[in-house]
Structure 1
């Protein structure tokens, strides 16, 4: 993180001018603009500012390669040949380019995320969270989104098809736009394309921040439920939420997760042998597979049993107690089978 106070932060009444290059645009300068928007002027109109429309706010934004305009701007990124954060310069195209601790070269987005990312996250989170959570969200997005953009923009590793980089590139007008429509119309379409790309990137960032926030919340609840579990093989969750990520990241020996559904039913879901894999650490009993209602209840011994999937990775009951009993019964049946085989 930054050891200086980034330009514009802590001075909300001051108008800050930010600039990146004109011409072809990529995901790094698009995300860089979006980060500055949410860090410095989240109440402004992100798209209208690019198009020069709408009311002015505390962030002005330009796309230009004019040396005089570059010199005059408060924050310049992805152009200008200078990396000097205290002076608001965030280019990365120099011979001695700024590097992460592991040697990965930064993109303009990475450099701005380093200085302005936490402020952007703080303005994007819609619930009350502490500074540690803000930092955790910032770090998660840095790892999952910003580092891949750094790598893609610097030719280290491509993000791949249908990535955010591809979505941004698709907003650019085709190469022959000037040939078909003239230079002025080509310039207008380029600006419009950048505005459209910024909206797409902003939507992705907004959703990612909220999903990471929720993921951190889920981690706390899953670990708490595991700590309180009488049988560590059965994770009883009082609210439905993602659990698999936490189970594998913390190496929890959970076999079945019991949790409510939106319809009021309670399900038992078998944990896979590894994260994201098909199969189960322990499948539900073979005799249950594909049965429903009274047929299932007669076999499993749980009166309010509702269903058991033919693939035996999930089953359910009408009540919390019923689902918990199904999970316990499934473990008992598995133990008996293994005892018979040994």
Structure 2
């Protein structure tokens, strides 16, 4: 959180004039604009402001390098040569760049995220959230989205092909647009490109906020399910949700996760030895490999067994009870095989 009250947050009704540079655009100023949109005027027209088609709106937005326009704006980002957040100046191109605690240079998006990120998250969320939740979402997105944008924009680490940075760049008109169609048409296409990029970034940011919110919700449910488990190696979830992050973050000894895949299917999924990697802490039985239906039911002894993947990392049954039985049997078979091998 900033030590000052960012411009526009002290009063929810005052008109705020935001400005960034014209010409080639990148992910940092595009994301910066989206952050301001949600922090200050989420009901406004994101595209319309860029294209000069917006109606009444407390946030106005301009893309120019004209010094007199920069001086007149309330919030200026990624241009102007000044870093004074208390005065609404968020450039990062000066010799003495604003730096994160770890020495990574900030981009314009990173600077705006510091001041306006919490407000943007509150307006994006469709449900009530306390300040701890908002802060947790802010910190997660700062690591997962904002920091990579800072690194990419400052030439530290490229985000790579098909990244958000690449998607934004692809919205720019081709280099010879003015040569082919004239300066006026090139400027029109540049504005349209920025509007398209802002729309794509806006969807990405909104989706990330919602996914992090849901992840925090999942954490409490996974912990509760683990504490209630009879066998701590089998985690039974009554609703499908991400569990792996919590299992590894809390170093839980879970081997299998049992959860519904559809109204008539419950799956048993093996936990990998390392988060995000292939492999299993305990593979499903070799005898089940690649079987389904009646053949699997006969071999496993579970009447409603449905399938067992050839890679031995997931299997399923038609009921919760059937899936839970498969998980228990898999552990028993593994223990017997280990005992026989010693």
- TM bin, normalised by shorter chain, reads over 0.9
Query: Is residue 2:298 matched to residue 1:298?
Result: yes
Superposed CA offset, 1:117-160 (max 9, x none): 01001100111221111111111111011001101111111111
Distance 2:194 2:298 in 1: 62
CA distance in 2, matches of 1:186, 1:82: 29
Q: Residue 99 of structure 1 corresponds to which residue in structure 2?
A: 99
Aligned to 1:133: 133
Which consecutive unaligned segments of at least 5 residues does structure 2 have? none
Give the structure 2 partner of residue 196 of structure 1.
196
Cα RMSD (Å)? 1.1
Match of 1:239 in 2: 239
Report how far residue 106 of structure 1 moved: 0.3
Deviation at 1:304, TM superposition (A): 2.1
CA distance in 2, matches of 1:240, 1:45: 36
Report the Cα offset of residue 109 of structure 1.
Answer: 0.4
Q: CA deviation at 1:310?
A: 2.2
TM-score normalized with structure 1 length: 0.98
- In the alignment of these two chains, the number of paired residues is 342
2:25 and 2:288 map into 1 onto residues whose CA distance is: 56
Indicate the residue corresponding to 1:120 in structure 2: 120
For residues 87 and 311 of structure 1, the distance between their equivalents in structure 2, rounded to whole angstroms, comes to 59
Post-superposition Cα deviations, 1:57-95, rounded to whole Å, max 9, x if no partner, equal 000000111111111100000111111111101011111
Q: Cα distance, 1:163 vs. partner?
A: 0.7
Stretches of structure 1 lacking an aligned partner (at least 5 in a row): none
Aligned twin of 1:173: 173
Q: CA deviation at 1:98?
A: 0.6
Cα distance, 1:305 vs. partner?
Answer: 1.8
The aligned counterpart of 1:68 is 68
Aligned residue number for residue 25 of structure 2: 25
Q: Report the CA distance between 1:250 and its aligned residue.
A: 2.0
SS in 1 for 2:262: coil
SS in 2 for 1:221: helix
Partner Cα separation in structure 1 for residue 123 and residue 264 of structure 2: 35
SS at match of 1:31: helix
Structure 1 range deviating more: 246-255 or 161-170: 246-255
Deviation per residue, 1:183-215 (Å, 9 max, x gap): 111111111111111111111111111111111
Q: 2:225 maps to what in 1?
A: 225
